[in-house]
Amino acid sequence: MPASIVSRGAITIALFAAVMGSAGSALAAFPEKPIRLVVPFAPGGGTDLIARTLGAEMSKDLGQPIIVDNKPGAGTMIGTDNVAKSAADGYTIVIASFAHAINPTLQPKLPYKDNKAFAPVVLIGRGPNVLVVRPESQYKSVADVLAATRANPGKLAYASQGAGTSAHLAGEMFASLAKVKINHIPYRGAGPALTDLLGGQVDMMFATAAAVAPFIDSGKLRALGVTTAEPSAAFKGAPPIAGSVPGYLVESWYGLYVPAGTPSPVIERLNAAARKAVRSPDFVRKVEHEGLVISAGAPAELDTYVQAEELRWSKVIKQNNIKPD
CATH number at residue 195: 3.40.190.10
Counting the structural domains of the chain, the total is 2
| 5 lies in some domain | no
Q: Backbone phi, then psi, for 120, in 5-degree steps?
A: -70, 145
Shared domain check, 209 and 289: no
Handedness of CA 287, 293, 297, 302 (dihedral sign): negative
Q: Backbone phi, then psi, for 257, in 5-degree steps?
A: -130, 155
pLDDT the model gives residue 44: 82
More confident residue, 219 or 29: 219
- Of 74, 131, 129, 130, nearest to 107 by C-alpha is 74
Instruction: Say if strands 92-96 and 251-259 run parallel, antiparallel, or are unpaired.
Output: antiparallel
Q: DSSP secondary structure string, 52-103?
A: HHHHHHHHHHHTS-EEEEE---GGGHHHHHHHHTS-SSSSEEEEE-HHHHHH
pLDDT the model gives residue 8: 54
Q: How confident is the model at residue 7 (pLDDT cuts 50, 70, 90)?
A: low
CATH number at residue 51: 3.40.190.150
Q: What is the mean pLDDT of residues 97-120?
A: 89
| 14 lies in some domain | no
Shared domain check, 228 and 210: yes
Q: What is the mean pLDDT of residues 108-119?
A: 88
Spatial separation of the C-alpha atoms in residues 292 and 210, rounded to whole Å: 8
What range defines the domain where residue 198 resides? 128-243
Shared domain check, 108 and 91: yes
Q: Cis bond leading into 31, ω under 30°?
A: yes
pTM (global) more than 0.85: no
| DSSP conformation class of 290 | G
pLDDT the model gives residue 19: 44
Rounded to 5 degrees, what angle do the CA atoms 37, 28, 303 make? 50
Kindly state the percentage of the chain with pLDDT values over 70.
91
pLDDT the model gives residue 23: 46
| 1 lies in some domain | no
280-295 pLDDT tens trace? 998 998 887 778 889 9
pLDDT the model gives residue 287: 80
Q: Backbone phi, then psi, for 240, in 5-degree steps?
A: -60, 135
DSSP-based three-state secondary structure for 223: strand
Does the pLDDT of residue 55 top 50, yes or no?
yes
117-140 pLDDT tens trace? 999 999 999 889 999 999 999 999
Spatial separation of the C-alpha atoms in residues 50 and 43, rounded to whole Å: 11
Q: How confident is the model at residue 20 (pLDDT cuts 50, 70, 90)?
A: very low
Spatial separation of the C-alpha atoms in residues 70 and 252, rounded to whole Å: 19
